[in-house]
Structure 1
Amino acid sequence: MKKILFTGCAGQIGSELTLAFRKLYGNDNIIASDLSTKVCPDLLNSGPFVQLDVLDTKALGETIDKYKVDGIVHLAAILSAVGEKNPQLAWNVNINGTVNVFEVAREKKLERVLVPSSIAAFGPDTPRTMTPQKTILHPTTMYGVTKVALELLGNYYNLKYDMDIRGLRYPGVISHKTQPGGGTTDYAVAIYFDAVKQGSYECFLTEDTMLPMIYMPDCLKATIELFQAEKSRLQNATGYNLAAFSVTPKEMTESIQKVIPDFKISYSPDYRQEIADSWPDSIDDKEARDEWDWKPDYDLDSMTVDIIKEIRLK
């Protein structure tokens, strides 16, 4: 693959994943795009950037032609908490924007498309503990509904048009580089910044809310490994379960206190609690491990040490 277009490059994952791909494929071979022009300087200065609305099919096609793109990593999306405040916008961007990506990729015979899914694809009747790859998908958020639809649609395009569309169900992603972007697991990012800067944090989930999480370096590693995996090995291509560790706010607090002993937390659950309660507390990612050799590098405590060190350097 020679040229890859990234959509949603200004987001939490997009901003770091785009740079990771540039290191692998060369700066000029990764075309970054986003509707927003508020993009980190490292991205703007290291390679091509295009202001692009994925709802604009004509502009999408013109960008692919101009840069001779043969693959897409499609990250542009409205996330879970924001999507509940404006479900119509979430449907429009997440579904119609992705259909545009699939259609342009089909018409121009692109080599590969990667579209992440999410643990939001699960719902309250999904087995909560060690949620299996093949299970009930009855989400109760618009974000989750769109992720289920896109997993199915990607599989349809793969079967109908012999395309190569791939995806993985991201758990909560924790990063020290980018501030949260409107997700239900955002507390797991904000808690570290507040721990370092002010020594306390008010959490919008209850102390015993267990959710699956992953540290950004492992998220990047998993995405790259799936993107590069041999197609013939992939039996669950459009929605792989992905796991690193599961954690509650209380456990995360205890991990932080090993580094910052005086750190304090308080709890004030809001509307995001109901979303979190509909998601699994742990994930079985056996298929990812078997089919493309997935294995995380970080657990909770090793992530905590690293992320606090990095925030202190800012």
Structure 2
Amino acid sequence: MKKIMVTGALGQIGSELVEKLRDLYGSDRVIATDIKASPEGSSGPYEVLDVTNGLLMYDIANRYEADTIIHLAALLSATSEERPLQAWQLNIGGLMNALEVSRSLGCQLFTPSSIAAFGPTTTKEHTPQDTIQRPNSLYGVSKVSGELLCDYYYHKFGLDTRGLRFPGLISYVTPPGGGTTDYVVEMYIESVARGAYTSYLSPGTFMDMMYMPDALNAIVSLMEADGSKLKHRNAFNVSAMSIDPEMIAEAIRKHIPDFKVDYKPDPLRQAIADSWPDSIDSGASIEEWGFQVHYDLDKMTSEMLAHLAVKGNR
């Protein structure tokens, strides 16, 4: 990666990934794009881009001589259920444009998949890399479609496509953005703000999670990996921990002993969560490109609470 264009740069992943990439490769070599106007104090090039506009995407990538596109623009799970047509047009239409621009310019392409690509008939414990994928959410359907499209462009055109099946990503930097796993971030925020939280998922709802620094490192590691050693390329399972709301609450109580949690499950998000695996197997990522994590639940909790306390006192 020498000249990198990032779509969805103001989103949950993009807002932190852009800064990491600029630290690694140089500020002028990372072009941030999003549908919103340029934020104040941007540390490098920024362009307004609606990813459903393929001509504009091509123009920006070509003008900056990008050799890598990291395509992050998408609607997340719960929001996609509320706006399925918009989600399909953005998640798949935008990806098709990114694939075509990458093919035209010879770019390397990264786009994330998700544990939402699995479904209720998938093995829920230690979900393997290669298994049945019959999701029953629009977001999940778009992620499976995206995995297959990236595979197609690799096999048909030789396009260097790569991707990760992300679990829930936890960060103190950006607010929750409409994902089913957002309750974790909300719980941390509310524990600091008022010492209590009402969870929209029931206790015992296990899902895979990862702290954002580990996720960012995984993206860079995969993109820098020797492509000849990658067998799966576009849909690597990655995870750091399998946890439920009660486990997070207990981790928080080590720092905030009086923290209280009650439960009012939201039928939509509970149904989505119940259709996903309880835990996934990251073995292929470890074997093929050396995936590793540095944060467990306790270490993540300590950092989240410390940073949120600082933000709350500003």
By the TM > 0.5 criterion, same fold? yes
Q: Distance in 2 between matches of 1:235 and 1:77?
A: 26
> Counterpart of 1:25?
25
> Counterpart of 2:284?
287
Aligned AA (2:63)? K
Aligned AA (2:54)? T
Q: Distance in 2 between matches of 1:34 and 1:134?
A: 33
> Counterpart of 2:307?
310
**Matching of residues 115-134 of structure 1 within 5 Å:** 115-134=111-130
**Per-residue deviation, residues 143-170 of structure 1 (Å, max 9, x unmatched):** 1101101101101100111110000000
Q: Is 1:172 equivalent to 2:168 in the alignment?
A: yes
Aligned AA (2:203)? E
Aligned AA (1:184)? T
Aligned AA (1:169)? R
Q: Secondary structure at the match of 2:257?
A: coil
**Per-residue deviation, residues 14-34 of structure 1 (Å, max 9, x unmatched):** 100111111111001000000
> Counterpart of 1:103?
100
Q: Distance in 1 between matches of 2:279 and 2:128?
A: 10
Equivalent of residue 217 in structure 2, options 215, 221, 227: 221
Equivalent of residue 137 in structure 1, options 119, 133, 136: 133
Q: Is 1:255 equivalent to 2:251 in the alignment?
A: yes
Q: Distance in 2 between matches of 1:247 and 1:2?
A: 37
Q: Secondary structure at the match of 1:181?
A: coil
Q: Is 1:185 equivalent to 2:181 in the alignment?
A: yes
Moved more, 101-110 or 3-12: 101-110
8 Å contact from structure 1 (residues 10, 38) kept in 2: no
Q: Distance in 1 between matches of 2:234 and 2:98?
A: 15
| Root mean square deviation, CA, Å | 0.9
1:207 CA displacement:
1.2
Aligned AA (2:291)? W
Q: Distance in 1 between matches of 2:168 and 2:106?
A: 33
1:57 CA displacement:
1.0
8 Å contact from structure 1 (residues 113, 166) kept in 2: yes
**Matching of residues 75-86 of structure 1 within 5 Å:** 75-86=72-83
Q: Secondary structure at the match of 2:169?
A: strand
1:231 CA displacement:
0.4
Q: Distance in 2 between matches of 1:22 and 1:142?
A: 33
Q: Distance in 1 between matches of 2:134 and 2:203?
A: 26
8 Å contact from structure 2 (residues 161, 233) kept in 1: yes
Q: Distance in 2 between matches of 1:50 and 1:216?
A: 24
1:227 CA displacement:
1.1
TM-score under structure 1 length normalisation: 0.97
1:2 CA displacement:
2.0
TM-score under structure 2 length normalisation: 0.97
Aligned AA (2:156)? K
Moved more, 304-313 or 73-82: 304-313
- Structure 1: gaps of 5 or more residues: none
Moved more, 29-38 or 82-91: 29-38
Q: Distance in 2 between matches of 1:10 and 1:68?
A: 21
> Counterpart of 2:9?
9
- Structure 2: gaps of 5 or more residues: none
Q: Secondary structure at the match of 1:12?
A: coil
Q: Distance in 2 between matches of 1:172 and 1:287?
A: 19
Aligned AA (1:37)? A
Q: Distance in 1 between matches of 2:180 and 2:42?
A: 31
1:45 CA displacement:
2.1
Q: Is 1:88 equivalent to 2:85 in the alignment?
A: yes
Q: Secondary structure at the match of 2:42?
A: helix
8 Å contact from structure 1 (residues 171, 242) kept in 2: yes
Q: Distance in 1 between matches of 2:184 and 2:234?
A: 26
1:38 CA displacement:
6.8
Aligned AA (1:264)? K
8 Å contact from structure 2 (residues 38, 47) kept in 1: no
Equivalent of residue 50 in structure 1, options 27, 47, 51: 47
Q: Secondary structure at the match of 1:45?
A: coil
Q: Number of matched residues?
A: 310
Q: Distance in 1 between matches of 2:42 and 2:151?
A: 36
Q: Is 1:69 equivalent to 2:66 in the alignment?
A: yes
Identity %: 47
